[in-house]
Structure 1
Amino acid sequence: MKEIICILIFAFHLNVLGQDDVLVGKYEFTLGKEESHLIVYTLMLNHDGTFIFHSYNKINSGNQPAVKKYGKGNWTYEDKVVSFFTDKAKHFDEKYTLDFNDTKAGFVFKSPRDKTDRVIQTRLQFFASKMFWIESIEMFKM
């Protein structure tokens, strides 16, 4: 009986770790063109539950410099929802200023049980955040 319980627990942990592997990686959102107005958001989800976010905004009308913003913190995954957390004491400094607390994104991917040949690109769809500009953004896995 103990062996069966150990095997079930081991199988459960493999399943949980396998889902994180699908999540981990680089995500990107690009809007516009370099010649006029370019917005690029890059998000890196790491295996250790940390993330780094980079926002690049360049308007080519006038002599305005590109605006770069950064954020970092921790992320968790539960029920197809990725939740982001930022500890102000630990993750904030003069470079990392974006507050990701209360930010949530839905994780969209092709189920391993889906045997059709339809293509579903892995992505994060943000649906809640204190930062109004990130809500409804879809970031695709690179």
Structure 2
Amino acid sequence: MKLLHTTLLLIFNLTIFAQSNAFAGDYNRTFSKEGDHLIEYKLTLHQDGTFVFHSYSKIKNGVPPEVNKYGKGKWTAKDNVITFSSNKQEDFDAKYKLHFNNSKARFVTKNPRDKSDRIIKTKLTFVDSEIQWIQRLDVFKI
């Protein structure tokens, strides 16, 4: 009986770990118009449940012309929704200022049962956030 419980517990833990592997990785999105502006978003979801976010913008005639914004914290996944959180004591300092609490993103990928030729890029779509400019942002998995 103990062997059965141990085996089931091991399988359950492996299943949870395998699901987080699908979400973990680097995500990126770039908007640019040659010579005028460049906006880049980079998000890295680590397998240990932490994340780092970097936003870079270089706008011609902008004030200031270049802006870097950083955020970090923890992420959790339930179904295809990733929830982000930031701890004020651990995740905020002079560099990391973005507040990701209550931010949620939907993980979008091609369904394994879909046998069609259509291409669906794996991405995260931010559906809710206290950071106004991040809502509805799509970042694609690299």
Common topology (TM > 0.5)? yes
Give unmatched runs, 5+ long, in structure 1: none
> Which residue in the other structure is 2:56 paired with?
56
For normalisation by structure 1, the TM-score amounts to: 0.90
Cα distance per residue 1:36-74 (max 9 Å; x no partner): 111101000001110000000111236843100100000
Provide the C-alpha distance between the structure 2 equivalents of 1:40 and 1:84, rounded to a whole number of angstroms: 20
Aligned partner of 2:90 in structure 1 is 90
- 1:1-142 equivalence runs, <5 A: 1-61=1-61, 64-142=64-142
Distance between the aligned counterparts of 1:62 and 1:48, measured in 2? 38
Displacement of 1:91 in angstroms is: 0.6
Q: Distance in 2 between matches of 1:113 and 1:6?
A: 32
The number of residue pairs the alignment matches comes to 142
Distance 2:41 2:51 in 1: 13
Amino acid at match of 1:121: K
- Alignment partner of 2:95: what SS? coil
- Deviation of 1:33 after TM superposition, in Å, equals 2.6
Taking structure 2 as the reference length, the TM-score comes to 0.90
**Which letter does structure 2 place at the counterpart of 1:41?**
Y
Identical columns (%): 48
RMSD over aligned Cα atoms: 1.8
Q: Matched residues in 1 for 2:16 and 2:112: separation?
A: 14
Ranges in structure 2 where 5+ consecutive residues have no aligned partner: none
Q: Offset of 1:2 from its aligned partner?
A: 4.1
CA-to-partner distance for each residue in 1:53-98, whole Å, 9 max, x for gaps? 0000111236843100100000000121000000011111110000
Deviation at 1:22, TM superposition (A): 1.1
Q: What amino acid is aligned across from residue 120 of structure 1 in structure 2?
A: I
- Aligned residue for 1:6, secondary structure, equals helix
CA drift of 1:34 comes to: 4.5
SS at structure 2 position matched to 1:31: strand
Secondary structure of 1:7's partner? Answer: helix
